[in-house]
Amino acid sequence: LKNKEILTWEGFGTASRELAQAVADSGFEPDIIIAVARGGLLPAGALSYSLGVKLSDAINVEFYTDVHETLPDPVLLAPLLDTDNISGKKLLVVDDVADSGRTLALVIDILKGYDAEVRSAVIYGKARSVVEPDYVWRQTDQWIVFPWSSEPPVTANA
Ligand code: 5GP
């Protein structure tokens, strides 16, 4: 497990609390927290509670198919549910990591198209990312192992 950055469940708790503090200290008060599913689902949930923001939604994007293996481009798997409610709002887009940053770039682009004020928060930022998220907990260039995806999905016992 060399050359890997391992985030534990406990580390995730610390990371989300500290990321929320950075958002609060910046004076940004988001109306809605948008999770980039699936990787951003748990970070976004933790940030919604830590920031006391009750409105949350998710946008589903697929890019990585395996460790270091991606589709040609990030693709939207399903549209946002309530685009009517996004216009003019302050949105905080939350993801696990900005690696190439192309997923975040796509999502920010889509949301800005609805005239929203968009900021982004990630647990990890990588140097090569094409977007600079507004809030980053830690910088790394290693492959990150997150606690929610460190093990393969369960299979039913016969
Ligand atoms: P990006 O578009 O910034 O390259 O990354 C899109 C998604 O790929 C991330 O939100 C994350 O779910 C996944 N990903 C990218 N880099 C890593 C990594 O180092 N570790 C893990 N576990 N997932 C990653």
Out of 39-43, 70-74, 92-96, 134-138, least confident range:
70-74
- CA 157 distance to own-chain centroid: 33
- What would the two tokens of residue 6 be? 């391992």
Supply the pLDDT for residue 90: 97
Q: How far is the CA of 88 from the centre of ligand 1 (A)?
A: 29
CA distance 101 to 131: 6
pLDDT in tens, 5-19: 999 999 999 999 999
Does residue 1 have a pLDDT over 60?
Answer: no
Ligand 1 pocket, residues with Cβ under 6 angstroms: 39, 63-64, 74, 95-104, 143-144, 146, 149
CA distance 20 to 47: 6
Higher pLDDT, 101 or 67: 101
CA distance 17 to 52: 12
Which ipTM value was assigned to this complex? 0.96
pLDDT in tens, 92-128: 999 999 999 999 999 999 999 888 999 999 999 999 9
Beta-carbon contacts of 125 under 8 Å, excluding residues fewer than 6 positions away, are: 97, 98, 132, 133, 136, 138, 139, 140
The model scores a pTM over 0.90? yes
Supply the pLDDT for residue 138: 98
Nearest-CA residue for ligand 1 atom 9 is 97
Supply the pLDDT for residue 21: 98
Higher pLDDT, 83 or 144: 144
